[in-house]
Amino acid sequence: MRKVEVVPPNPNWKQDFQKESQQIANIFGENVIDIHHIGSTSISDIYAKPIIDLLVVVKDITKVDEKNAEMESFGYTIMGELGIIGRRYFRKDNSAGIRTHHVHVFAVGSTEIKRHLAFRDYLITHLEEAQQYSVLKQELAAKYPDNIEGYMDGKDSFIKEVEKKAIEGLT
C-alpha cells in the first residue's frame, strides 16, 4: 500500500524535471516533439506529492513501445495505457521503493495534451485557486494517509471544475 504524502513546495522540483526530461529525450530520440512538466510539482508555491510528472509529446505513439527495454533499464515500470486510450504510461520508484516520477506519453494532437497543459497553466495564472487546490490536497492526504484512491477521488470534482474553466478559457 502506497502512503499518501503531500509536502511543501520544493524549488528542486524544476531541476529534477529538467534532469529527467533530458534522459527521457535521449531514450525516445527523434520521436520526441516536446516534454512538459505537469502535475502539482510544476505549479509554484503549492503542496504536492513529491512525484515529478512529465508529459512527453511524440510523433508516433507506437514507436514508444520499442523503447520499453530502455525505459526499464532507466528504472521505469511499463504500465501501458493504464486507463487512457492512446497513452503510454511509465512510473519510477527510488531504491527505497518510493515513487519519484510519472511519464505520460501521447501522440501529437491528443486531446489529453491540451487538457493536462490547460489545467497546469490555469493554476499557474490563478493563484487563489491554486492555493485552494493546495489546501484540498493537504486535507485529503491527512484524511486518507493510506488510501490513494480516496485521495484521488477527493480531488476529482475540483480537477474537473478547473479543467472545464481552463479549456473554456482556451476557446
pLDDT in tens, 84-119: 999 999 999 999 999 999 999 999 999 999 999 999
pLDDT band, very low/low/confident/very high, at 169 (cuts 50, 70, 90): confident
pTM: 0.94
| pLDDT reading at 68 higher than 70 | yes
Cα end-to-end distance, the chain, whole Å:
41
3 state DSSP class of 1: coil
**Residues 2-8, mean pLDDT to the nearest whole number:** 91
Output the nine-digit C-alpha cell for 98.
518510493
In the chain, what are the domains? 12-170 (3.30.460.10)
Q: Report pLDDT for 75.
A: 97
Give the Cα separation of 154 and 63 in Å (integer): 35
**Residues 34-58, mean pLDDT to the nearest whole number:** 97
**Residues 23-40, mean pLDDT to the nearest whole number:** 98
DSSP β-bridge partners for residue 35 = 56
pLDDT band, very low/low/confident/very high, at 3 (cuts 50, 70, 90): confident
